[in-house]
Amino acid sequence: MIVLKAKRGKDKKIRNGYPNLFSDETREILGEEKTGIANLFSYDDDFLGTGFFNRQSRKVFRLISTQAVELNRAFFKGKINDAVNRRRFLSDSKVRRIFNAEADLLPGLIVDQYNQYLVIQIRHPVLEDYKELIVKALRESPGSEIEGIYERSDFESSPEPGLKRKSGLLWGNVPEEITIVENGIKYRVSIPSGQKTGFFMDQSQTRKSAVEMVRRYQLEDEKALDLFCFTGAFSLNLGRAGMRTLGIDKSEEDIKRARENAGLNALADRCNFEAGDVFELQDLSTEYRLILLDPPSLIKSKKEIHFGKRKFTEMVSKALEFLKPPGILGICSCAYQIGFQEIEESLRRACSRTGCYADVIKMDIQSPDHPWLVQVPETFYLKCLWAYVRD
């Protein structure tokens, strides 16, 4: 067992529920292992909890329990069952996140459900040794009628030093492609090859808001522009609500999938898609009455906030060039470091450049199956601001 001792005063945040102790906050590390299970003690030798240890990481310790625990089948079953049971109060949907890492009190584990299939993502090297127990616990979770479990730990950048990218079937059978339904709209999803685990479930509430905007401001038969459209989810919701849409994304593969989804929902005549770089758009019409901006994360750390704010301002300014007032602008950010204040500032600066005014009419956050744990600010990452733009 690895033992860590925190520097004086650094135990306070752990006692307050924050799970991460950084390498420069440790006073002593007893043990030679690079990774493993560790017990953490305060400067005064009070026991603080058990957690994951990674000597190579800046987050050297990640709390999993304030008690001394053994990572056995009962431990993982308890964690997963608790997470699944809490989500029963949210909806009956079978397309949802059923485990969300720190927000479900187990850093490094993400599990998404696509009907009868589960997709897991391992984000800490210690969990590699417990994958078999995790799979067993998922198969025994409440109301489980699972036919297959697939791993998608092949993220673009490794979140933890020492963690290798992996992807493949862990149990049962998972087809190359499945069809899911959200808000009455069908999507073809590739679990083995789609972005993240295949679909952006955290935007389900924002997609409902997009439909609300069409109805509230009577935008049926008007034009909408969906920037960074991925596989077309916002476009399809807007098209079903009556708008004529153009979705743009840099990925040719995602555009192909978006067109397939439009055909699947008999919306090909309303929802068009083109491959292109949003930051280099030119020669678009200025007839769009609703524009949605949902870019990938523009920044990864605090030191990039200035860059992120500048890119957001450029992006919003570009969008305003194509918006026909009065119109609706939706701006989303999936970067924890970019909050509503930064989005509002970018909108204000962009309006100053273009000479228009913007009323904030709604703000959305990530869907409730992606919990926001108040003790861990990083779990509140997705924000979407809706603005009514006028001359």
**Domains of the chain from N-terminus onward:** 2-65 (2.30.130.10), 73-175 (3.30.750.80), 200-390 (3.40.50.150)
Instruction: Say whether pTM exceeds 0.75.
Output: yes
What integer is the mean pLDDT of 133-139? 96
Give the tens place of pLDDT for each residue, 208-248: 999 999 999 999 999 999 999 999 999 999 999 999 999 99
> Position 228: which residue type?
F
Give the tens place of pLDDT for each residue, 10-29: 999 999 999 999 999 999 99
Which of 175-184, 207-216, 337-346 has the highest mean predicted lDDT (pLDDT)? Answer: 207-216
Residue positions annotated with a catalytic role: 334
Q: Are 244 and 235 in contact (CB under 8 A)?
A: no
Whether the pLDDT of residue 199 is over 80: the answer is yes
More confident residue, 136 or 144: 136
How much is the mean pLDDT over the chain?
93
The pLDDT > 90 percentage for the chain reads 81
Among 164-178, 182-196, 221-235, 293-307, name the one with the lowest average pLDDT: 293-307
